[in-house]
Structure 1
Amino acid sequence: MPSRVRGTESAAMDDYRALFDLTPLPAYVFDDLTLRFLAVNTAAIERYGYSRDEFLRLSLEDIRPPENRHSLVSSVRDQIDIWKYHGAWRHVTRSGEAFDVEIVSERVTFHDRAAHFVVAMDVTERNRAQQAAAERAHESNDLSRRVWARARARREEDRTRLARELHDQLGQALAALKIDLCWLADVAAAGQISEERSLTKIEAMTRLVDDTIWRVRRISGELRPPVLDKLGLIAAIEWEVRAFERRAGVRTIIESTPDHVVLDGGRATAVFRIFQ
């Protein structure tokens, strides 16, 4: 072989070794038959904690957790004939630290041996972030389910209470009015009532009507206070708190950030119902 060709090949090999060693991600070459390391770069030495000489006395099994080693050989054998392979694994350092990696592996010939060239990227922090995000999403979904379950329960409570108040209070008031009107009509038709007595009865009935109107407005306001539509959610919450103070005699302090509360009508109502 001409010396110029040999010199060109030698220079190309030197460039390849330099590129391999300067790769910022851990990279290594392992023997297909023995799974022993044939070459490692500086990033692999730094990440796994072995010297270059120590690395070259190890095999793939030595950088896998003990619980994964029994399946390593079969897994590698299943992938050995694939020209290019991408997968996720769990690796361990010399000190026993376990971390997640994604590897890209490609078949090569290394010093006349069938081998694989592997680049391993540490994805431990990314996986932790994804797991944390998934847990937060689950917690958020769980909270949303509890919130809406509470809102539904509140609606059922309101319907039950409304039915009871309509029956016990408005029903009785309307029944009383009907009785009074029937009585007034009967005695007036028979000429058995004086004008003064009629006026007294009508005044009593008027008071009962006014009381009934007040009760209807109170029930309607408890279901959806007008202030919620007129002034918004924060004002409605403050109105509810003041009403609670009057009922319970307990001084209450409200802390809110009204400038940051922007909800449409449906959501504002749902939040108000939950607050109630």
Structure 2
Amino acid sequence: MTARINRNTQLCMSLSARPGNFGTRFQNHLYEALGLDYVYKAFTTTDIEGAVRGIRALGIRGCAVSMPFKEAVIPLIDELDPSAASIGAVNTIVNTDGHLKGYNTDYLAVVQLMQRHRVPTDTRWALAGAGGMAKAVASALVDYGYANGAIVARNAGKRRELAEKLGITDADEAPADTQMLINATPIGMAGGAEADALPFTPEAIAAAELVFDVVAIPPETPLIRAARASGRQVITGDAVLVLQGREQFVLYTGVQPDEAEVEAAAKVALAP
């Protein structure tokens, strides 16, 4: 971001039911650090169709898409990248001369996290959730060889549909031999209706080897705290935020920041 916004400044934005500060801080820090003439602003809306029309009409370069809009935007844009098409959920829109293309950088972040933590592909996992984020996580796991999984969402119809699409199982609760538990629901999210709840039973948490919560605010969710108390390895949602945010930055700008630049932006974005 330049010192003074001008008529050539590129605008990027986000759409969410409950906008946070992470994307705004992360993206704007990188724009300024790298001397890019961009600015980023978070928005909410009750008119998703109108908001997407605005992206196209106003020449907004990119838009991050969060709950509950990840699936609703699909019929409103022109093209889906394979990362979004195979999942049926979009978390990033890139506008190129009025052509809106949807991506899913959550998918890419999950793959990178499994590689960073050296999680074996034969790990038995169970995932809570069947919405847009759950689809991204489950699809990434299956596509990269983590085929021994189960969907344990509370909505039996949606979990069965997702499990059948991916060729895995569905269940009311995590199977007894589950090694990795993953929460891809809003359970544990600050300010939510279930901010103090657990998506899995204490017994399942204690029996697992690795617990992964995609909820990023707060990073220390009730699930992560319970897993730490049981001595389990954890992956927190802020790691997903940083990795997917970096991918969004590259899509918007075409610039690849180095690890030190990303780390500095994440420190700013995750500050209280």
Is the TM value for this pair above 0.5?
A: no
TM-score (normalised: structure 2) = 0.19
Specify which structure has the higher proportion of helix: 1
Greater radius of gyration (CA): 1
